Structure 1
Amino acid sequence: MPKAKKRPDGRYSRQVYIGKDPSTGKRRYKTFYASTAREADRLANEYRTALGRGLDPLAGPRTVKDLLDALIATKAAQGVGASWLRCLKNHQQHLSPLWRMPAERVRTADIQAVLNQLAEEGLAHKTLGQIAGTLSAAFRLAIPETVQYNPCDRIVVPAGVPPKHRGWLDEERQAWVRDTPHRAQRAAMLMMLSGLRRGEATALTWADVDLDARTISVTKSWDFVTNKVKGPKTAAGERVVHIPQLLADFLRAERSADPLTLYVIHTAKGGRMTAIAWRRLWSSYMSDLNVKYGYHDAVSKHAVRKKDEDGQERGALPIVIRTFTAHELRHTFCTLLYRAGVDVLTARDQMGHSSVQVTQEIYTHLDKQFKARNMAALDEYLAAASGK
């Protein structure tokens, strides 16, 4: 076996034969350089081992973008949901500074520098971890055909900005949902008192609801990108949700008034809700709540619309209430479980979280917030008692 040769610049080199060039027929070699002969030999031997495992030495260099594209294509072939694919593509965009680098030349320091920069730009620790996880998965798929090791293995995910926790509805806004008739009320009550995701609520049929047993069987979800039924977000998402009597009574009355429809939540014509239908429904709902609780029914929600010089109507009634999203209703259900003293394992099963850690994080955050609120109340009491 030939030994590593010392070069004029002081480095040692070692060549490995990789076959003939298919276009010219000439012999081709790959050269490894190192500061010591032993290190050059080690690199060459590792490369030979990789050749034995399937590395294609004649293939052109693959970039980081190539690896990420391959990962996304693989996930798409596996049938993952459209929302997951959107996340992967979003992560790929964040990694654009690395796109043109040959994958085999990427080092841990290169990735670390990109993550550090993203942290300075305001990304949260969880998001940074997801971006790093996507890149790591792309490199894992490329071992050993393209790269010899995963440069993501030793990165440190920066702290990033503090995460933004999902909001929930306070008692006042929960009362709005319970007491305000609207076509969206059924959806709002369902998500607030069962914790269903919007996609799960969209796919729900009356056959999935047992009002006598007070249960909802969650077996499917609706993908708003592909407009197709899919499985739940995670394996834990397939579950039986036990609902409170309040929701069971509400749904029983709704079912009596709506006996011929298939879907629990549906369009005005009884069809499946689309993303556009949800957006219009929710906009109308927030507008009506705004009139009732922001303006105390003193004005119309179109009150400030008027014709301008070109004869077109302009403006709309300003929103003065604190609006909420469908996901905040789901998070409100988790908050209600916490405040009712429901244990974290039961809450995980009800919510369909992928792991108990997800539920525990929410419970811990709620615990801190409610304790801080209670201590603030104590401060107010002591200030009043002391006459300050």
Structure 2
Amino acid sequence: MRYVRKTARYHGKKYEATAKTELEAMTKLAEKLAAVKRGEELVSGAMTVDAWFRQWLSTYKEPKGLTQKSLSMYTEKYNGYISPAVGHMKLRDVKDIHLQRVLNGQAGRSASHVKKLRMVMREMFKRARQSRLIPYDPAELLELPTVTEGRRRSLTDQERTGLLAVSQTHPAGLWVLTLLYTGMRPGETAALTWADVDIAHNEIHVHAARESGADTIKGPKTVAGVRDIPIHAALLPRLQAARGAPFSPVFPTVSGKHPDDATMYRWWRSFRRALDIHMGATVYRNQITHSVLADDLTPYCLRHTFCTDLQRAGVPLNVAKELMGHSDVAVTANIYTHRDTTTLHANMALLDGTGGNTGGNLNNL
């Protein structure tokens, strides 16, 4: 028996319906178009990947209370890389080779970018499989291509010396020193109020952070982010001298509000310029014509330096994890295991008899 097929386009997309008679096919097509216009799409393996992504994002991601930045990441990765390759395909027709090609096309890019791209594909296709929309998960065994591993680093001795000198006079000096001596994330310093700076108990109470890319101040992403950090002896007098009203920001904007990402970026850019000049940059007509600072010197280098300083001081890994606010000790361990010449020589001294509590004598162990 021959079937009648009817097709129509709506907002550039093609829809079709088949039936035994022309009237029945037209009726089914009209119902499908009406559902699409109401924002309802038939959820099945026959829907396009684009349609499934919209359904998946609105049903399984948006209600979870993810930050706008996180939701934007899903949309950016999908629209930029996944949709152009497989968005037009029926969900049930997507094979692992289609998705692997998407990843392979990102070879040489940063590990963070490629891993996030794979995560989006894994999450959306895993849910489609669990919902019985597709017979198998084409994203389950995706492999990463060659990627570029980003590396956060500690300050060099020269950078530290210069930073400490410039922080004495620069308007953002206290903020920079707080990043260095507490290991706090920039977003955590943005939420800090003077009520959180407990001079009596020599602690800074961290319990909130500014959401990246937004104006919202909320609790940290994980329970581990809530912590108390003892105040470094070099930081204490600077905090005492700057102390303000209990619930006012420790690092206010000109208008007295909590700083946003753009404000902190300006602070860091201004501080970097002053540090660059202090360390010998060439300046012509108030413009730096030859910089001597490394391009990878960012505020997160100060957090990394704090963790490295804990290692050099012999602070146990589990204690460092608490001070850093890491939810997984493996993250802290990854920093602790970075090559550090000073630490290597200090520990060798324990072995060769030139230093350490055992005097280097293995018989004393």
TM-score category (smaller protein): 0.7 to 0.9
Q: Which residue of 1 aligns with 2:338?
A: 365
Q: Does 1:270 align with 2:251?
A: no
* Alignment partner of 1:146 out of 133, 137, 150: 133
- Take 1:238 and 1:129, find their aligned partners in 2: how far apart are those partners? 27
- Name the CA distance, whole Å, in 2 between partners of 1:371 and 1:282: 32
Q: Which position in structure 2 is the counterpart of 1:351?
A: 324
Residue 123 (structure 1) shift: 2.4
CA contact (8 A) 2:99 2:139 kept: yes
Give the corresponding residue for 1:334: 307
Once residues 43 and 153 of structure 2 are traced to their aligned partners in structure 1, the CA distance between those partners, rounded to angstroms, is 54
For 1:322, the equivalent position in structure 2 comes to: 294
Deviation at 1:371, TM superposition (A): 5.0
1:208 is aligned to 2:189: no
- 1:167 positional shift: 2.1
2:161 matches 1:175: yes
Compared CA separation, residues 163 and 186, structure 1 to 2 (3 A): same
Correspondent of 2:114 among 124, 128, 135: 128
Rounded Cα–Cα distance in structure 2 between residues aligned with 1:215 and 1:20: 73
Give the 3 Å change call, closer, same or farther, for CA 224–208 of structure 1 in structure 2: same
Q: Alpha-carbon deviation of 1:292?
A: 2.3
1:62 to 47, 51, 63: 47
Partners of 2:22 and 2:335 in 1: how far apart?
61
Mark the CA change 1:131 to 1:171 in structure 2 (over 3 Å): closer, same or farther: same
Matches within 5 A, 1:1-388: 24-25=23-24, 61-73=46-58, 74-92=60-78, 93-95=80-82, 96-119=84-107, 122-142=108-128, 143-158=130-145, 160-180=146-166, 181-255=169-243, 258=244, 262-295=248-281, 303-304=284-285, 318-322=290-294, 324-367=297-340, 371=344
RMSD: 3.3
1:242 Cα deviation from its structure 2 partner? 2.8
Cα distance, 1:197 vs structure 2: 0.8
- Identity among equivalent positions (%) equals 29
Cα gap change, 1:284 to 1:57, in 2 (>3 Å): closer
- Inter-partner Cα distance in structure 2 for 1:103 and 1:58: 10
Equivalent-residue separation in structure 2 for 1:58 and 1:342 (angstroms): 54
Q: Per the alignment, do residues 271 and 124 of structure 1 end up closer, same or farther by CA in structure 2, a change over 3 Å counting? A: closer
- Structure 1: how far apart are the matches of 2:43 and 2:235? 65
SS at match of 2:234: helix
Q: Matched residues in 2 for 1:58 and 1:321: separation?
A: 55
My pick for the range that moved more, 325-334 or 88-97, is 88-97
Q: Secondary structure in 2 aligned to 1:94?
A: helix
Q: Quick one: which amino acid aligns to residue 176 of structure 2?
A: A
Q: TM-score, normalised by structure 2?
A: 0.73
Note closer, same or farther for the CA distance 1:194–1:135 as it changes in structure 2 (3 Å cut).
same
Matched-pair contact (CA < 8 Å) for 1:71–1:137: no
Aligned residues: 309
Structure 1 110/369 Cα, relative in aligned 2: closer, same or farther at 3 Å? farther
- Structure 2 distance, partners of 1:145, 1:23, is 31
Aligned CA distance change for structure 1 residues 91 and 321 (closer, same or farther; 3 Å): same
Q: Which residue of 2 aligns with 1:49?
A: none
Residue 24 of structure 1, CA deviation: 4.8
* Contact 2:204–2:228 (Cα < 8 Å) also in 1: yes
Q: Is the 8 A contact 2:45 2:91 kept in 1?
A: no
Contact 1:21 1:58 in 2 (8 A): no
Q: Which moved more, 1:80-89 or 1:68-77?
A: 68-77
CA offset at residue 199 of structure 1?
A: 0.8
- CA-to-aligned-CA distance 1:280-330 (integer Å, 9 cap, x gap): 2222222222222225xxx8x6x415xxxxxxxxx5554333363211111
Using a 3 Å threshold, how does the CA distance of structure 1 residues 176 and 270 change in structure 2: closer, same or farther?
Answer: farther
Task: Please give the per-residue CA displacement for 1:167-197, whole angstroms capped at 9, x wherever unaligned.
Answer: 2212222223322221111111111111111
Tell me the TM-score normalized by structure 1.
0.69
Between the aligned partners of 1:59 and 1:106, the Cα distance in structure 2 is: 13
